[in-house]
Structure 1
């Protein structure tokens, strides 16, 4: 394909650290592709840019000062279904890749990856619409055998999940005990068990888990 015929990709670089955005730009310059880039540094700006411009590929960090990007993936897909999303982050792939892909991301890549791998991932995202690393492929296969990997709430019993959701909407121990007609110390015991199973320490983390995983 000639330079005139070559598609010009619109790429959004979303990271609150300018050095990361510049690093990705340097790698893009080494690709034999025509592209136009846009840079943003928070979740609000991501949604604004996606609404304003037909973005082909959004390369997005996991965490921003105004929140976790997993919270806006569904909205990005609603605004622009054709936009492909690559999560490019420093958080652990083993424990996070599946939930981001489930939430709508088309790929997940560690910032610790070699430059060659990053360039390969970007090219696959541009031309094939997804990038699944060997690590994430293994996680996907394992999740078929063990659904708890992709939805941590599945470790809870039906009663535990019911009470977890009641906590998440703001009910306290006494309210839950009255609504379910059980003892308050029973509720406290179940709450402790919920926290242990989900490996969390507080209600804020519980609310986030339910928001991300409850269908």
Structure 2
């Protein structure tokens, strides 16, 4: 998509909207087409503006939290949703992404992340603010947590698990034992992951994981 993204700003604080407009005015790939201070006005703009992107504050009047994301996604399935909120609850972060949000930023985060998030969303990816990146976890087969990795190239749950374990220096046999699969299957998963990411060794996989913010072992 070469044309600028059209975006709706939804926040009940005028000063926040003005600050966002100032940040966005410095970007050449985004154009604000509507603003909303409550859920009712937002729904009207979603129907009428047919925007590419919604920058949404979850704490606005008339916005029923996570359910509102699902409602918006159903109303405008092609529109991407970038949540910008003060809420850093891990459950809220996970629920927002599962409900259809493509990005989750916090109001106390780095303003530069807004541009990074918009760029990731534009390319079809997902973006989490650094402050909440490790708030999302998922159970592995043995009951332990596995870090949720937000990659510019979308990864499956199994690929995220493989990437995380390789970054901790595990061999194919150790990965197989941890995930309850055969060593051959573990090696195949690792080969497929390297091909998908255009990487050529376990060391490059580890570097990639670290670049995403995942600690290496």
TM-score (norm 1): 0.59
Map residues 189-200 of structure 1 onto 2, 5 A cutoff. none
Structure 1 CA distance, aligned partners of 2:122 and 2:64? 24
Q: Is the 8 A contact 1:60 1:69 kept in 2?
A: no
Structure 1 CA distance, aligned partners of 2:27 and 2:50? 21
- Find the counterpart in structure 2 of residue 92 from structure 1: 88
Computing the radius of gyration from Cα coordinates, the structure with the larger value is 1
Residue 84 of structure 2: SS of its match in structure 1?
strand
* Aligned pair partner of 1:72 in 62, 68, 74: 68
Is 1:119 aligned with 2:115? yes
CA RMSD of aligned residues (A): 2.4
Is 1:39 aligned with 2:48? no
- Find the counterpart in structure 2 of residue 23 from structure 1: 19
Mark the CA change 1:57 to 1:45 in structure 2 (over 3 Å): closer, same or farther.
same
Mark the CA change 1:147 to 1:72 in structure 2 (over 3 Å): closer, same or farther.
farther
Structure 1 CA distance, aligned partners of 2:65 and 2:52? 18
Q: Is the 8 A contact 1:88 1:111 kept in 2?
A: yes
Q: CA deviation at 1:129?
A: 4.5
Mark the CA change 1:71 to 1:34 in structure 2 (over 3 Å): closer, same or farther.
closer
Q: Is the 8 A contact 1:42 1:65 kept in 2?
A: yes
Map residues 57-206 of structure 1 onto 2, 5 A cutoff. 57-134=53-130, 136-140=132-136, 142-145=137-140
Q: Is the 8 A contact 2:4 2:28 kept in 1?
A: no
Mark the CA change 1:32 to 1:62 in structure 2 (over 3 Å): closer, same or farther.
same
Q: Which moved more, 1:34-43 or 1:131-140?
A: 131-140
Q: Size of the alignment, in residue pairs?
A: 143
Residue 139 of structure 2: SS of its match in structure 1?
helix
Q: CA deviation at 1:109?
A: 0.6
TM-score (norm 2): 0.58
Q: Is the 8 A contact 2:12 2:36 kept in 1?
A: yes
Q: Is the 8 A contact 1:61 1:69 kept in 2?
A: no
Which is bigger in relative contact order (C-alpha 8 A, separation at least 6)? Answer: 1
Q: CA deviation at 1:134?
A: 4.6
Q: Is the 8 A contact 2:57 2:85 kept in 1?
A: yes
